[in-house]
C-alpha cells in the first residue's frame, strides 16, 4: 500500500463519471481539468471571516459559489505556497517543516544464511522494527547471481511476461536484501520552513516560487547515526556469520565481495551520497519528497494553521488534505495517514444522510440513504431503445438527466397491490 499514486484512481473516477453522464459535461459529477495551473485563490473579507470567492488559473478565473468548499490537495510545498499567496504570510503558515531522514544499504548473502537465523531475528522480521523515532523496511528477493535488485519481483505480480522464463531459471543460491531506514525529524525548528522566494525573478506562472529552508539540528544527526547503526546490526544478524557481497547504490554494482558483514560501516559510510561520497548510504534531506507539517492541524490558531478536519482557521470555506496537515511526520510512509485524513474530511464536508422517518402508514421505497447499487437493483429505467438518459442520487433526491429515452423510472422490485397496503411518498431534498 505504501507504493501508491492517486492519479490512476482519479483517472478511473473521471472515466466512470463520463460514462454515467453519456459524455454530457453538465451532468458529470467529477471532472479533471488538465493543463490548468492554479496560481492563487481570490479571497473576500466577510463580516464573519474570510471566504474564497474564486480560483485564479493560467486560463482565467473560476468563480466559486458562497456555499462551495475549496480543498487544496497538492504536495506539501505547493499547498503551502498556494496558501501563502492566497491567505497571506502572517501566522504559522509554512512553519514547522519536517522531512524524513533515509538511509539505504543493499547486500547479498548466501541463501543458507537465512536457515540459521535465530528465532528472535525471525520474530523481528514478522512483527516489524518500529523503534522510537525511526523504523527499518526490509525487502528481499531470491535472484540469479548477476542481479542486484532486491525489489525485482516485489512489484511484478503477476510477473512480466517478457522475463518470466528468466525468473524460472534464476538461481536461489543467493538472496539480495535491502534495508531502508527512515527516521523522523521533530517539529519546532525555526530554521525549517517554507516561504515565498525573495528574489522577484524567481517566478512560476507569474507568481513567486516557494523557498524551502530545511536545516537539520544536531539531535537529528545523532538519530541518523543510531538508525544506520541499527541497520548494520540487523545486516550482521541476517548474514548469520557468512560473508556478504556489498552493492553500491549508484551505480548498482558489486563493490567489495565476500567480506564480513561488519564491513558495511566501512564500505557504505554514514554519509549523504554525492560526488565526494559516491557510496554514501544516505539520501539528501528532502530528496525523498516526504515533506510535511507546514499546514499543521491544531485547536489554537496561533500555533496551527488548520483545525482537526483540515479546514483553515482563518478561511470559512477552504480546507487542505495531505501530509502538510500532520502535526508530526512519523517515520513510516505518510500515504496511509494522508488517505485516512482525506476520507475523514470527505465525511465531514459531505456527511451521510440520517435515515428518514416515515409517517404512520407509509414506508419509503427510496429515502436517499440507500447505496446506488441497491437503488439500481430496485428501480428500473424504461428504455424505448433510443438510448440515453439516467437518474442520479444527489442530496437524497433522484435527479433526472434526460436523454433520448422517455425519462421514466419505475419501482420494479415488488408489485404494489391492494389499497392501504403500501404508499409511496416523495422525499423532499434537504435545504
pLDDT tens, 132-162? 478 888 887 775 555 556 555 555 555 545 4
What CATH number is attached to the domain comprising 345?
3.50.50.60
Q: Are residues 366 and 404 in the same domain?
A: yes
Res. 359 pLDDT band, cuts 50 70 90 = confident
Domain boundary among the residues 331, 349, 367 is at 349
Res. 431 pLDDT band, cuts 50 70 90 = very low
> Region 210-216: what's the mean pLDDT?
91
Q: Is residue 325 part of a domain?
A: yes
Mean pLDDT over all residues of the chain? 80
Instruction: State residue 195's pLDDT score.
Output: 94
Q: Are residues 325 and 423 in the same domain?
A: no
Q: What DSSP element (H or E) covers 264?
A: helix 264-267
Domain of residue 301 covers 33-95+291-349
> Among 130-134, 362-366, 399-403, 414-418, whose mean pLDDT is lowest?
130-134
Which one has a higher pLDDT value, 287 or 82? 82
Dihedral pair phi/psi, residue 378, rounded to 5°: -100, -25
> Region 108-116: what's the mean pLDDT?
83
Domain boundary among the residues 349, 365, 391 is at 349
Q: Is residue 426 part of a domain?
A: yes
Q: Is residue 187 part of a domain?
A: yes
Q: Is the pLDDT reported for residue 125 higher than 70?
A: no
Q: Which of 353, 379, 383 is nearest to 366 (CA)?
A: 379
Instruction: State residue 391's pLDDT score.
Output: 78
Q: Are residues 301 and 235 in the same domain?
A: no
Q: Are residues 112 and 218 in the same domain?
A: yes
Could you give the angle at the alpha carbon of 204 between the alpha carbons of 341 and 290, nearest 5°?
A: 35
- Residues 348 and 363 sit within 8 Å (Cβ to Cβ): no
Q: Are residues 144 and 236 in the same domain?
A: yes
Q: What DSSP element (H or E) covers 335?
A: helix 335-349
Beta strands at 174-184 and 318-320: parallel, antiparallel or unpaired: unpaired
Q: Is the pLDDT reported for residue 9 higher than 90?
A: no
Q: Is residue 392 part of a domain?
A: yes
Longest dimension (CA), the chain: 90
Q: Are residues 323 and 192 in the same domain?
A: no
Res. 2 pLDDT band, cuts 50 70 90 = low
> Region 360-364: what's the mean pLDDT?
78
Q: Is residue 5 part of a domain?
A: no
Q: Which of 80, 87, 55, 48 is nearest to 69 (CA)?
A: 55
Q: Is residue 19 part of a domain?
A: no
Q: Are residues 263 and 368 in the same domain?
A: no
Q: Is residue 295 part of a domain?
A: yes
How many angstroms separate the CA atoms of 417 and 315, rounded? 55
Q: Are residues 44 and 133 in the same domain?
A: no
The predicted-structure confidence for 297-355, as pLDDT tens digits, reads as follows 999 999 999 999 999 999 999 999 999 999 988 877 778 888 899 999 998 988 877 77
Collapsed DSSP state (helix, strand, coil) of residue 209: coil
Give how many domains the chain has, as a whole number: 3
How many angstroms separate the CA atoms of 261 and 235, rounded? 7
Domain boundary among the residues 349, 374, 391 is at 349
Instruction: State residue 124's pLDDT score.
Output: 47
Q: Are residues 90 and 63 in the same domain?
A: yes
Q: Is residue 280 part of a domain?
A: no
How many angstroms separate the CA atoms of 88 and 106, rounded? 46
Instruction: State residue 78's pLDDT score.
Output: 95
Which range, 85-94, 122-131, 248-257, 396-405, has the best average confidence (pLDDT)? Answer: 85-94
Q: Are residues 104 and 243 in the same domain?
A: yes
Q: Is the pLDDT reported for residue 130 higher than 50?
A: no
Dihedral pair phi/psi, residue 364, rounded to 5°: -85, 130
- Say if residue 157 is preceded by a cis peptide, omega within 30 of 0: no
Q: Is the pLDDT reported for residue 419 higher than 60?
A: no
Q: Is the pLDDT reported for residue 165 higher than 50?
A: no
Q: Are residues 112 and 257 in the same domain?
A: yes
Q: Is the pLDDT reported for residue 112 higher than 70?
A: yes
Q: Are residues 104 and 88 in the same domain?
A: no
Amino acid at each position: 500500500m505504501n507504493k501508491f499514486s492517486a492519479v490512476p484512481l482519479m483517472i478511473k473516477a473521471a472515466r466512470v463519471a463520463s460514462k454515467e453522464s453519456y459524455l454530457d459535461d453538465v451532468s458529470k459529477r467529477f471532472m479533471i481539468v488538465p493543463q490548468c495551473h492554479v496560481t492563487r485563490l481570490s479571497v473576500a473579507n466577510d463580516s464573519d471571516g474570510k471566504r474564497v470567492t474564486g480560483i485564479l488559473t493560467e486560463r482565467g478565473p473560476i468563480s466559486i459559489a458562497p456555499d462551495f468548499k475549496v480543498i487544496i490537495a497538492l504536495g506539501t510545498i505547493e499547498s503551502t505556497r498556494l496558501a501563502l499567496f492566497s491567505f497571506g504570510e502572517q501566522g504559522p503558515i509554512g512553519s514547522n517543516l519536517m522531512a524524513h531522514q533515509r538511509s539505504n544499504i543493499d547486500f547479498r548473502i548466501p541463501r543458507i544464511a537465512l536457515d540459521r537465523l535465530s528465532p528472535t531475528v525471525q520474530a523481528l522480521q514478522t512483527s516489524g522494527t518500529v523503534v522510537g523515532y525511526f523504523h527499518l523496511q526490509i525487502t528481499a528477493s531470491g535472484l540469479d547471481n548477476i542481479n542486484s535488485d532486491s525489489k525485482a519481483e516485489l512489484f511484478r505480480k503477476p510477473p512480466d511476461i517478457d522475463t518470466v522464463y528468466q525468473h524460472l531459471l534464476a538461481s536461489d543460491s543467493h538472496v539480495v536484501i535491502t534495508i531502508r531506514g527512515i527516521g523522523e525529524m521533530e517539529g519546532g525548528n525555526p530554521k525549517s520552513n517554507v516561504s515565498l522566494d525573495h528574489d522577484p525573478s524567481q517566478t512560476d506562472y507569474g507568481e513567486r516560487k516557494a523557498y524551502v529552508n530545511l536545516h537539520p539540528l544536531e539531535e537529528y544527526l545523532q538519530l541518523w547515526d543510531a538508525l544506520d547503526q541499527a541497520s548494520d546490526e540487523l545486516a550482521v544478524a541476517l548474514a548469520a556469520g557468512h560473508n556478504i557481497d556489498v552493492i553500491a547504490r549508484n551505480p548498482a554494482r558489486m563493490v567489495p565481495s565476500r567480506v564480513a558483514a561488519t564491513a558495511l560501516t566501512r564500505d557504505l559510510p554514514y554519509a549523504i551520497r554525492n560526488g565526494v561520497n559516491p557510496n554514501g548510504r544516505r539520501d539528501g534531506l528532502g530528496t525523498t519528497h516526504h515533506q510535511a507539517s507546514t499546514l499543521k492541524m491544531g485547536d489554537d490558531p496561533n500555533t496551527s494553521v488548520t483545525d482537526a478536519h483540515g479546514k483553515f482557521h482563518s478561511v470559512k470555506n477552504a480546507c487542505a488534505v495531505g501530509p502538510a496537515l500532520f502535526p508530526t511526520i512519523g517515520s513510516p510512509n505518510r500515504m496511509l495517514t494522508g488517505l485516512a485524513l482525506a476520507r475523514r474530511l470527505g465525511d465531514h464536508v459531505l456527511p451521510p444522510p440520517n435515515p428518514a422517518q416515515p409517517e404512520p402508514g407509509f414506508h419509503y421505497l427510496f429515502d436517499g440513504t440507500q447505496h446506488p447499487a441497491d437503488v439500481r437493483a430496485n428501480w428500473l429505467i424504461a428504455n424505448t431503445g433510443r438510448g440515453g438518459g439516467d437518474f442520479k442520487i444527489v442530496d437524497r433526491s433522484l435527479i433526472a438527466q434526460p436523454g433520448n429515452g422517455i425519462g421514466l423510472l419505475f419501482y420494479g422490485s415488488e408489485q404494489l397491490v391492494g389499497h392501504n397496503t403500501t404508499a409511496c411518498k416523495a422525499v423532499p431534498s434537504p435545504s
